[in-house]
Structure 1
């Protein structure tokens, strides 16, 4: 195998590792929101325990990236591939942290009657998860069009976040006994909004990978 072929294979392994980490994060988000909706203590604890594996993946990918930089001294597009991998790994790890945070809230709310049916929060989670899936697909396929769509979809998540925030504030003003739980649910929506932001970051890094141009933030 030539040096270039070996290097390309290592870059492919890096891409594969990123997708595996993304899949683990997507599962964590899904299970965290499910643990809240179902008030499932066992599932919430599983999400929190599994976060260690996501952290391990981050460290492993970072180490591989640093070895590639040190050994290959990449230039131009190859350097963008590795640099983008490092950035995406950071975003994925932070998504995993937010899933952990949601599971922790689910644990603290276990067995408490919900002040309102959880309709918008699961919908928000589904949108954020789709953004994560699409951003990773765009990264894999180097699909700028799909990456741009992910960036646009962030507005819908922000809209739901603002809507739920106002609704929960109304609950607190009308009934002070709801303040503790409403505040916790506001945190959940904030974590989901941040997850969507990180998915947007991945899409923007994909655009940079393909074009070499940084997408201007709104």
Structure 2
């Protein structure tokens, strides 16, 4: 491996980790804005999204340049492919964080729903998935990445519970429909972010072990 190629790979790693930090911050701000009913915090997410979008384009361009210049093989090729896929997933998480922030801004101006939903529990579960998937990426830890994949069903179940509770609330109190729909959208976005965290974990396994584990059925 040439020094130039090694430097390019290190720069890609630094860039994807920096993007991961931006996305994690956006997610935390967006969900905190919902929980705290903080419209100003929600606005910060909207402003910060442009930097995430710029980073996504830069990383994709850099990956393509490395592929063209160095024609990597084996582990180096897997690394670049994984970076490109993770890059796309991170940008999508950033977009979902923006949508959550927009819902937070709307809900902050309305009365909170009187429903027994464990929203904070769902946020904590998803935040943990995002954090562990990024930790697995930083450490190139396939064992941790597989653990992230195994935990995805918990978030899916939380989303279903949220849907059932809010659907019942809308039936019994039509005045809550608009607020409940926005809250359901937040729940769906959280569930989708959990899926994307799982995608990142799957990409880490591919990067480290060369194994494609999409659609794998995980046993308890």
Normalised TM-score (structure 1): 0.94
Contact 2:115-2:166 within 8 A present in 1 as well: no
In the alignment, which residue of structure 1 is the partner of 2:206?
208
Distance 1:181 1:15 in 2: 41
Residue ranges of structure 2 left out of the alignment (5+ in a row): none
Normalised TM-score (structure 2): 0.93
Moved more, 112-121 or 151-160: 112-121
Q: Deviation at 1:70? A: 1.0
The count of aligned residue pairs is: 216
Q: Deviation at 1:89? A: 0.3
In the alignment, which residue of structure 2 is the partner of 1:66?
64
Contact 1:65-1:82 within 8 A present in 2 as well: yes
Do structure 1's residue 138 and structure 2's residue 136 form an aligned pair?
A: yes
In the alignment, which residue of structure 2 is the partner of 1:41?
39
Contact 2:148-2:198 within 8 A present in 1 as well: yes
Distance 2:10 2:128 in 1: 24
Distance 1:111 1:170 in 2: 23
Residue ranges of structure 1 left out of the alignment (5+ in a row): none
Question: Aligned runs of 1:17-166 on 2, under 5 Å?
Answer: 17-116=15-114, 120-166=118-164
The 1:98/1:77 distance shift into structure 2, 3 A limit, reads: same
Contact 1:37-1:118 within 8 A present in 2 as well: no
Q: Which runs of 4+ in 1 moved over 6 A?
A: none
Q: Deviation at 1:9? A: 2.4
Distance 1:116 1:55 in 2: 37
1:12-43 CA deviation, whole Å, 9 max, x = no partner? 22111111111111111111111122221211
1:126-184 CA deviation, whole Å, 9 max, x = no partner? 22121111112212222111011100111111111111111101101111111111111
